[in-house]
Amino acid sequence: MNSIETILPRALALVQLFVSIVMFGIIIYIASVFLRGHAVPARVWTFPMTILAIDCVLIWLLSRRQLSLPLYMGTIALWLATTGYYVMNLRALLPA
């Protein structure tokens, strides 16, 4: 078996695990802001949940190998770019 075929899925799964942990951290942070009495817009908490749902689908597709590698890599890159944009702009979405 090719080394890329064995190493790349494991590396992608680790990246997805890291992003999932960050999203769970963001959800916990949003919950703490909400518990402090601030109003939290729906878009602030629905986006991390959507990212986690997409992550579940990507992990499922990675384990099934139903997509070609270039298409899967493009999907992962788009998912990471969207997640990064959200994380960078999270403070602007939350109340002061």
Question: Tokens 């969207």 — which residue?
Answer: 82
User: What's the mean pLDDT in 56-80?
Assistant: 80
User: What's the mean pLDDT in 75-91?
Assistant: 86
Q: Calculate the average pLDDT of the chain.
A: 83
Q: Structure pTM?
A: 0.77
Euclidean distance between CA atoms 37 and 35, whole angstroms: 5
- In the chain, what are the domain boundaries? 3-93
Which backbone phi and psi does 2 adopt, to 5 degrees? Answer: -70, 145
- DSSP track, 28-79: HHHHHHHHTT----HHHHHHHHHHHHHHHHHHHHHHHT-S-HHHHHHHHHHH
pLDDT of 35 strictly over 90: yes
- Please list, in sequence order, all residues whose beta carbon lies within 8 angstroms of the beta carbon of residue 93, skipping any fewer than 6 positions away: 41, 43, 44
